[in-house]
Structure 1
């Protein structure tokens, strides 16, 4: 009956990655029925069940798990081989698939991608925004972009942004109505926006008090998970917000927002890093992206060293 081809194998891996026949179908531009048929034919060819299907879940069998582990390696080599042929023309080429934390998508990728794609017309890029800690190997990503503190030990990491100061900002209309906090202790009487992370925890407001990093409990009627919602509320004078400076730099420059509590500003938070498995040689297209992002988003000598926080190797 033959053996599954590369296209069918790719569909099978996407079903496991997405844990859904419907999502895999959208990824490949197929119907769910066609995806189901591909998996069923693979099972018939191999004589074993590869995926357990219920109305609520999709999971690999033991055979499916073993096959997926080997296929990820084979397909990565296959794609690299095709890219190497394209690159005989002298320019990096191929498709890059990146798993990116939403702040990095906003602050790093959004401004850089149009220029990168214009410079490298043979490269295509897929951005999957994800605030969790996705396994980029299992998800068949070429690389991920995260803050350095969240990287695993078996990853090579390259700094692609400077460290970011945290600032407390509000609209002039808010300060006219509610006054300005003179110190962190005054925040108890102010309307403060809180930000909830994907794991359910609230991101703390932190300050430097008596030379020590101190988290301050704040209160407010708005808890946001999307930055645009929070920024809109701040611009409208509804509350104040502690946020990485790049998110509000334009608003500050144009006078829509004003900074307070700078004397208590905490140490800048770590910037973003592009990372990939230490066991994998990066393809030329990924090398081109790394170099482009480093040149675009880092300017100080300290930012260009590639040093990362404990838990990841640097290059």
Structure 2
């Protein structure tokens, strides 16, 4: 039996992780027929069927699942070994894949990404914003960013933010036309915005009254899963929005938005941590990202 080559093993893993020959081909920069041929060659070399193919789905056989679990760490180590040569370059390089909770994407990453990419022009970022818990090893992410209480114990975690205040904001224009709500009950008389979660629910508006947490239902005039859209609508005077203060820091500093109902502000959002597997060697590109986020926090 001729030993399988790297391209065949890499294509096999990509197909099962993406659950699609087409998506795997896009990830690898190959044509779907070429990826299919690589996987078929691997099966022929090993003499066993690895992938079940139908018109609607792709899934591993028992042998394929066993091989997948063994190959993933091997391919990760291979990639890390090659990219370790970046330490001898003038600047770190390579692709970093990150999974990030939506609040962290808006309040921690978004404000600093332009500066990071400018400082490290040879590093590319592939960021997946997801509110669910993601297995970064199985999904082959280099790292994730989540609140501290949502991290697995076998991860190395690095704190990259302080606690983030939650505020209600509106534009001076809106307040001049509609007036300022003075109590939580008066929110029912105003246009409010809500953020849509991936599961279809919306973030509740939270407050703190007499030492106790309170959730207030708002009849949302505008609901979206795009925070930037809602911030823009607030700046344009369309309504009120509750969100982490850091997301609208520039708009507050510029006077485009002001905060409301501060006396009932809820507890701050928990600190965010960047985390990565303890058994995986840290890549140079990830190391400089961590150092950069620590620097910005200070």
TM-score normalised by L of structure 2: 0.91
TM-fit CA distance, 1:278: 2.6
Task: Specify the SS of the correspondent of 1:223.
Answer: strand
Q: Counterpart in 1 of 2:5?
A: 5
TM-fit CA distance, 1:180: 1.3
Question: Contact conserved, 2:103 with 2:244, CA < 8 A, in 1?
Answer: no
Distance 1:188 1:131 in 2: 28
Q: May I ask how many residue pairs the two structures share in their alignment?
A: 298
Distance 1:78 1:9 in 2: 12
Residues 103 and 208 (structure 1), Cα distance of their counterparts in 2 relative to 1, 3 Å cut: closer
Distance 2:161 2:258 in 1: 24
Map residues 298-309 of structure 1 onto 2, 5 A cutoff: 298-299=297-298
Distance 2:31 2:125 in 1: 24
Map residues 88-237 of structure 1 onto 2, 5 A cutoff: 88=88, 92=92, 94-120=94-120, 123-237=123-237
Task: Specify the SS of the correspondent of 2:9.
Answer: helix
Distance 1:95 1:235 in 2: 35
TM-fit CA distance, 1:193: 0.9
Task: Specify the SS of the correspondent of 1:202.
Answer: coil
Distance 1:125 1:209 in 2: 41
- Tell which deviates more after alignment, 277-286 or 137-146: 277-286
TM-fit CA distance, 1:88: 4.2
Distance 2:59 2:43 in 1: 14
Distance 1:263 1:80 in 2: 50
- Tell which deviates more after alignment, 3-12 or 207-216: 3-12
- Tell which deviates more after alignment, 124-133 or 269-278: 124-133
Task: Give 5+ residue unaligned stretches, structure 1.
Answer: 300-315
- Tell which deviates more after alignment, 92-101 or 283-292: 92-101
> How far does the alpha carbon of each residue in 1:105-155 deviate from its partner, in whole angstroms, 9 at most, with x for none?
343334434443454466443333333322110111111112323322322
TM-fit CA distance, 1:157: 1.3
Residues 119 and 195 (structure 1), Cα distance of their counterparts in 2 relative to 1, 3 Å cut: closer
TM-fit CA distance, 1:71: 0.7
Residues 233 and 123 (structure 1), Cα distance of their counterparts in 2 relative to 1, 3 Å cut: closer
- Tell which deviates more after alignment, 240-249 or 271-280: 271-280
Q: Counterpart in 2 of 1:266?
A: 266
> How far does the alpha carbon of each residue in 1:49-82 deviate from its partner, in whole angstroms, 9 at most, with x for none?
2122222222111111111111111112212222
Distance 2:204 2:153 in 1: 26
Q: Counterpart in 2 of 1:71?
A: 71
Task: Give 5+ residue unaligned stretches, structure 2.
Answer: none
Distance 1:89 1:238 in 2: 50
TM-fit CA distance, 1:4: 2.5
Residues 68 and 92 (structure 1), Cα distance of their counterparts in 2 relative to 1, 3 Å cut: same
Question: Contact conserved, 1:164 with 1:269, CA < 8 A, in 2?
Answer: yes
Q: Counterpart in 2 of 1:60?
A: 60
Map residues 79-90 of structure 1 onto 2, 5 A cutoff: 79-88=79-88
